[in-house]
Amino acid sequence: MKKFCRVLPLVVLGFLLFTGVALAIGNPEFGATVEDVFVFRSVVETDDQLYFVRYDVGYNATPEEDAEDTWQMALYDSDDNLVATRPLNYYHHNIISIYLTPGEALAWEGTHTVRIMGMPSVFANLTENINMRTRVLAPADYKEFSELGSTLIDQAEILEDDWEITILTTGERLNTTGANFFVKAVPGLGSMVPDIFETTVRPLDVEYTTWSQDYGESLQEHEFTLNTTVPQVNMTETMTDLSDMFGTTYGWGSFWLFGVMYLVFAGAVYAPTRNPAWAIIVAFPLVGGAAWIGMGTEMLTFFLVVLFMVGLVFAIFFILSRFL
């Protein structure tokens, strides 16, 4: 058992070494280059920094290993202290960036260093111009946020010519393909400079309903004439005159008259049956009749609410009287 415990760490160490060898891809046949570097400030909040790099890791054939497992962008300050790293998304000619918050930001226009390099855990020996390329920043590499959009469009034009695919629209904006590459290289780019992205306006397919005034017109036609010898005198005019006589509005006058008609009709049913439920039910068609002739239309909804409340109260008392 003790012998097994002594051998086990050696087995684990050998496995780890073997795994490291498996990830040790060869050096790029055409080396690594830093094509362009730009630093922008105040892109998301005041005094933050965005370090943007266009690079080329020139393999003759794309390695089987993912670029994010083997290569990285590294940022060093002017004293050569490592500040941040980020794995590359792709081999060959592409773009990447590192974002620093205001608290992490370096001295503006400082002689900081950007490297495109193989990961030390994968490459045993990192050699300049072979598997690493260094670029020391100069004052001309620093730009204000206002130049971010136009600079990235210029970079997109360079990539488009080299890749021989379309990533820009005729209006000099990133299309869907271009947006995928740039947003992956610069997370949150859409909120930084939304104007560099293609926008599409697509109208919604809406089926419009054609409304008519047939119902309202039919109500006016149904307002029957009270005096056949004077056709101009109809229900509306008659109720208006009566309402003026009693100092009220047409709506309230119609409501009062309709209420009286309802009670009279319901009373006629209740007298022989002594059943209030039947009285309410049988008299209810008067509501439809009033609506059909357009009588008191503006107060008809109010009357229905009142009628509903009366019916609800009756139902409650009816139920309580049966079970209590």
68-121 pLDDT per residue, tens: 999 999 999 999 999 999 999 999 999 999 999 999 999 999 999 999 999 999
Local structure of 128: helix, strand or coil: strand
Residue 4 lies in a domain: no
- Residue 49: CATH number of its domain: 2.60.40.3580
Q: What percent of the chain has pLDDT over 70?
A: 65
Domain count, the chain: 2
Residue 209 lies in a domain: no
Q: Are residues 92 and 187 in the same domain?
A: yes
pLDDT of residue 8: 46
Q: Are residues 60 and 161 in the same domain?
A: yes
Q: Are residues 224 and 189 in the same domain?
A: no
Tokens of 271: 């007298």
Residue 291 lies in a domain: yes
Q: Are residues 119 and 243 in the same domain?
A: no
- What range does the domain containing 251 cover? 214-323
Element (H, E) at 41: strand 32-41
Do 291 and 300 form a contact (C-beta atoms < 8 A)? yes
What residues does 134 pair with on adjacent strands? 115
Which residues, 6+ apart, have CB-to-CB distance to 75 below 8 Å? 51, 82, 83, 84, 85, 98, 112, 113, 114, 115
Among 119, 115, 157, smallest CA distance to 133 is for 115
pLDDT of residue 226: 45
The full DSSP string for 165-191 is S--B-TTS-B-HHHHHHHHHHSTTHHH
Q: Are residues 134 and 279 in the same domain?
A: no
Residue 20 lies in a domain: no
Q: Are residues 81 and 157 in the same domain?
A: yes
pLDDT of residue 162: 96
Distances (CA, A) of 98 to 75, 132, 156: 8, 18, 18
Q: Are residues 192 and 222 in the same domain?
A: no
Residue 135 lies in a domain: yes
Helix axes 235-245, 250-273, angle to 10 degrees: 100
Last residue of a domain, one of 196, 231, 262: 196
Residue 201 lies in a domain: no
- Number of other residues whose CB lies within 10 A of the CB of residue 172: 13
Q: Are residues 48 and 168 in the same domain?
A: yes
pLDDT of residue 243: 64
Residue 208 lies in a domain: no
Q: Are residues 182 and 59 in the same domain?
A: yes
Residue 9 lies in a domain: no
Last residue of a domain, one of 170, 196, 222: 196
Q: Are residues 174 and 132 in the same domain?
A: yes
Positions of the chain with pLDDT lower than 50, given as ranges: 1-2, 4-5, 7-22, 225-230, 232
Q: Are residues 32 and 119 in the same domain?
A: yes
Q: Are residues 166 and 58 in the same domain?
A: yes
| Rounded CA separation 178/156 (Å) | 8
259: Cα within 13 Å, side-chain hemisphere:
16
